[in-house]
Structure 1
Amino acid sequence: MGDIEGFYMKSPDSCLWVAVLEDKVVGIVAAVVQQKPGGVVELQRMSVGRSWQRRGVGMVLGRKVVEFAVTHRYSSVVLGTTAYKPAAHLLYQRLGFPV
């Protein structure tokens, strides 16, 4: 994606969060509204640097997406993942998603 700012930051229907610790980008996550009105928010682009995994960064980022959905009164949050990421599945379950 060539224009991340244009896609995620210039629309009220999407947002991108960047986790910075010790002056380093350690993770990102995005939220995009897929259906309106009432809306379904899709959690996208969840990524946490390998050395920062299992330290709560993913949980904080995931909660930001859920908070975005609640604040804007969207009906639900969904995500897609692959079968070969068991650590990600555990994180998503802890965030309340059925996996």
Structure 2
Amino acid sequence: MEYLTNAIQDSKSALHRDTDGFYSWTARDGRGHGSCGVTDEPGRASMRLNDALDALAPGASGSVRLVRLDRHARQPSYIHGKVLLRIRRDRTEADQ
């Protein structure tokens, strides 16, 4: 979690010191199944990513990114910043 905290501090400057930063998480497996979401807490994003990977097939991977609202877009959307965390669920002997 220390790495995630340091990465978050570093990446806030990459978003032009915007105060409305959020954390998006995305998980996918090799069959195209997955889930995603956005939260205002980095720890919650990490936990939701782990839960999503547990529900997917072995070999699934995911990430947590810093995002902020695009205030100039016509439709609600995010500007994606730095990837803060990447996780891959490896296959185990029990999965085979």
TM > 0.5: no
Output the TM-score relative to the length of structure 1: 0.34
Tell me which of the two structures has the higher relative contact order, counting C-alpha pairs closer than 8 angstroms and 6 or more residues apart.
2
Larger radius of gyration: 2
